Amino acid sequence: MTVILDGISVRQRGETWLDDINLELPDGMTTVLGPMTAGKTTLMRVVGGLLTPGAGRVLVNGKDVTRISVRKRSVAFVYQQFINYPSLTVYENIASPLRLDPRHRRDGVDRRVREVAELMGLTGLLGRRPAELSGGQQQRTAIARALARPVDVLLLDEPLANLDFKLREQLRADLKSMFADSSGVVLYSTADPNEALTFAAPTVVLGEGRVRHVGDVAAMYDHPPTLAVAATLSDPPLNLLPGVVQDGRIEVLGASFPAPRAHASGRTVLLGVRPHQVTIAGGGPGALELPAEIRLAEVTGSATFLHLLLQGGRHLVAQLAGTRQFTPGERTVAYVDPAHVFVFDEDGGRLLATSAAEVDLHG
């Protein structure tokens, strides 16, 4: 089973929602990662057949299904909102897609409903209506509805986004094991890079309606090919600092480190640093030393986010472990190990080098 998207474009009300998307989605799970308004939902709707693209084709197993109505396609969809039939019980909700599917045998419905309910931990709740369930249980029901019927394409559009933190963690773990042995194409969209990293599936990074990058998510995290991909994959957001190449070294706000690759002197570059790579405890030999003023400390429990003002009015966020107390206005020094600095070209278009491995993905 493969789904191929061939030059898909969607324009609505003068805005481009998807711009020339070319993708090949193999059997198994694929994650679609992107910020809000990146076009994730539009992409899902095109693949599912809920939206006919302005240009391009959708091929399922080599067959063009672009203009085939969603009713005749073999798809299932799980929404960010918890969508169930309000007047039906959980049992009836899970059974409804099976009953309406002419290919499914009538006598197998009950067995299949109980099987899926068991899988999603809904066995004790089969007699209840959606309004009598918690948010997590409602979404489990919606997922069970989608899983009940074997389909060619299963689409999950940010299914965990509206759940609270603990339920999200739990359901994420359940889903990972569930999709490991599912047949058919599973497309899972999320705005949360941690979710994409957890699933460790082939990942499509979307941004502003375009495909930014496709590949293994962990490799992408370590060597983001462009600034956009690095930013999408960084939560908390990536710190950006300006740098200049000078005699084989890169100078940044008064500090400098050896340039990982040979570049012409005078070239300006953009440096990306993830907040957890910034410390104030003193760096090892060769660490960049950046004098800073403390502006704000946000304590989340497991981490403290320290907002720093560097020279030239630049901001830097450091993620420090544990709860820490700081006084705003105090001066300190931020240390960054050059091994964890991404060097992008000036407009952020492409990664020149990660200091650590000196890869240049674009040759």
Partner 1 sequence: MRLARAARRKGPGVSEESAPRAGGEVAVAEAPAEDERRPVLKRKDNRAWWLVLPVVVSVAFTAVIPLMTVVNFSVQDVFGPNDRVFVGLEWFRSVARDPEVRAALVRTLLFSAQVLLLEIPLGVALAVCMPRRGVQVSVALVLVALPLLIPWNVVGTIWQIFARGDIGLGGWTINNVLGVNFNYTLDSTDAWITVLVMDVWHWTPLVALLAYAGLRSIPEPYFQAAQIDGASAWSTFRHIQLPRLRGVLTIAILLRFMDSFMIYTEPFVVTGGGPGNATSFLSILLSKIAVGQFDLGPAGAFSLLYFLIVQILCYVFFTVLTRSGR
Residues of this chain that interact with partner 1 (CB under 8 A) are 45, 48, 50, 70-71, 75-77, 79, 81, 83, 85-88, 96-97, 100-101
Least distance (Å) between residue 72 CB and partner 1: 8
Rounded Cα distance, 156 and 273, in Å: 32
Rounded Cα distance, 272 and 240, in Å: 5
Burial class (CB in 10 A: 0-12, 13-18, 19+), 285: exposed
φ/ψ of residue 193, rounded to 5: -60, -30
Least distance (Å) between residue 110 CB and partner 1: 18
Least distance (Å) between residue 309 CB and partner 1: 44
Q: What is the DSSP letter of 133?
A: S
H/E run at residue 303: strand 303-310
Measured from the CB atom, the residue of 70 and 218 that comes closer to partner 1 is 70
Measured from the CB atom, the residue of 73 and 210 that comes closer to partner 1 is 73
Looking up tokens 């067995």 gives 111
Distances (CA, A) of 94 to 45, 79, 145, 175, 179: 22, 15, 4, 17, 18
Rounded Cα distance, 311 and 252, in Å: 10
Least distance (Å) between residue 77 CB and partner 1: 5
Measured from the CB atom, the residue of 50 and 333 that comes closer to partner 1 is 50
Rounded Cα distance, 255 and 266, in Å: 16
Least distance (Å) between residue 146 CB and partner 1: 9
Rounded Cα distance, 274 and 265, in Å: 26
Measured from the CB atom, the residue of 146 and 288 that comes closer to partner 1 is 146
Measured from the CB atom, the residue of 102 and 284 that comes closer to partner 1 is 102
CB atoms under 10 Å from CB of 290, counted, come to 22
For residues 225 and 194, the answer to whether their CB atoms sit within 8 Å is no
Least distance (Å) between residue 144 CB and partner 1: 13
For residues 299 and 222, the answer to whether their CB atoms sit within 8 Å is no
Measured from the CB atom, the residue of 89 and 137 that comes closer to partner 1 is 89
Q: Cis ω on the peptide bond leading into residue 236 (within 30° of 0)?
A: yes
Measured from the CB atom, the residue of 96 and 232 that comes closer to partner 1 is 96
Least distance (Å) between residue 157 CB and partner 1: 9
Task: Cite the beta strand spans of 128-219 per DSSP E.
Answer: 153-157, 185-190, 202-207, 210-216
Least distance (Å) between residue 127 CB and partner 1: 15
Measured from the CB atom, the residue of 37 and 246 that comes closer to partner 1 is 37
